Amino acid sequence: MKKFKQYINSFLLVELLKGMSVTWGNMFRKKITVQYPEEKTPQSPRFRGLHALRTYPNGEERCIACKLCEAVCPAAAITIEAGPREDDGTRRTTKYEIDLFKCIFCGFCEESCPVDSIVETRVFDYHFEERGLHIMTKDMLLEMGHQHEDQIAADREVDAKYR
């Protein structure tokens, strides 16, 4: 009996029609494909993308070389060298590097930062054209900060009450 039923079903292409109904159903549904890079998916204000070092509105860098981010980094991606700054003797980094090959974008550095200096921006699409460019130097990080400060500040503002 079971064999007979199978025979009839395969003869009448029932399974094919079932499958096609899904196909046809989706064909008229609203499209969810995002036309990257013209279109982008929405991001959370807590998005953890490429890093940046922030500055205060007067241009003074925030980072005080406390090295907590370096200590907390589970991938040991951050390398800091510090010393007293030439002109005023304050504690500053002389080298701040993030190895993007090591970084796992966990956001611990941002959480550990007592002065909100190192942050993760919404930038996630980047590439390297040369060997060695995967290491973000202090200048590159500060530049990221300059470029995205408005967005960074707005995101921290939104998230402030949960922190």
Partner 1 sequence: MGKVHIEIDGQELEAEVGSMIIEVADKADIYIPRFCYHKKLSVAANCRMCMVEVGNLPKAVPACATPVAEGMVISTSSNKAVEAQKSVMEFLLINHPLDCPVCDQGGECELQDLSVGYGEDVSRFTEGKRVVQDKDIGPLIATDMTRCIHCTRCVRFGQEVVGIREMGATGRGEHMEIGTYIAHSIESEVSGNIIDLCPVGALTAKPSRFKARAWELRQSSSIAAHDCLGSNVFVHHRRGEIIRVVPKENELINEVWLSDRDRFSYQALSEGDRLLKPRIKKDGVWQETDWQTALNLVASEIKRIIGGSNGDDFGVLVGNNITTEESYLTQKLLRESGCNNIDFRIRRRDFSGDGRGSVRSGMNFAMESLDRMDATLLVGADLRHEQPLTALRVRKSTGYGNVMAINPFDGEYNFRLSQELQPKSNMLAQEFASVLIEADKLKPDVLNAEAKEWLAGIDSNEEHQQIAQNLIDGEASCILMGVYVQEHPQAEVVNWLAEALATVTNSDWGYMTQGCNAAGNKIAGAVPCQSAAGGKSDEGKNAKQMIQDGMKGYMLINCEPDVESVWAEQALENLKRADCVIALTPFADGRVSEYADVMLPIAGCYETSGTYINVEGKWQSFAAAVKAPGEARPGWKVLRVLANLLELNGFDYESSTQVIEELREKFEAVGDARIARKVPPPLMVVSEQETTRESLGLYMVDPMVRRAKALQQTPKASTHPISISRVKTR
Which is nearer to partner 1, 78 or 141 (by Cβ)? 78
Which is nearer to partner 1, 72 or 100 (by Cβ)? 72
Which is nearer to partner 1, 117 or 121 (by Cβ)? 117
SS (H, E, C) the chain: CHHHHHHHHHHCCHHHHHHHHHHHHHHCCCCCCCCCCCCCCCCCCCCCCCEEECECCCCCECCCCCCHHHHHCCCCCEEEEEEECCCCCCEEEEEEEEECCCCCCCCHHHHHCCCCCEEECCCCCCCCCCCCCCEECHHHHHHHHHHHHHHHHHHHHHHHHHC
**With binding defined as CB under 8 A, does residue 74 bind partner 1?**
no
**With binding defined as CB under 8 A, does residue 98 bind partner 1?**
no
Which is nearer to partner 1, 68 or 136 (by Cβ)? 68
Pick one of 67, 122, 134, 156: the residue that binds partner 1 (CB under 8 A). 67
Q: Give the binding range for partner 1 (CB under 8 A) out of 43-51, 59-67, 121-129, 149-157.
A: 59-67
**With binding defined as CB under 8 A, does residue 65 bind partner 1?**
yes
Q: How far apart are CA 85 and CA 61, in angstroms?
A: 12
**With binding defined as CB under 8 A, does residue 118 bind partner 1?**
no
Q: Is 40 within 8 Å of 122 (Cβ atoms)?
A: no
Residues in the chain: 163
**With binding defined as CB under 8 A, does residue 115 bind partner 1?**
yes
Give the per-residue contact string, 78-97, with partner 1 (x = CB under 8 A; - = no). ---xxxx-----xxx-----
**With binding defined as CB under 8 A, does residue 135 bind partner 1?**
no
Q: What residues make contact with partner 1 under the rule CB under 8 A?
A: 64-68, 70-71, 81-84, 90-92, 114-115
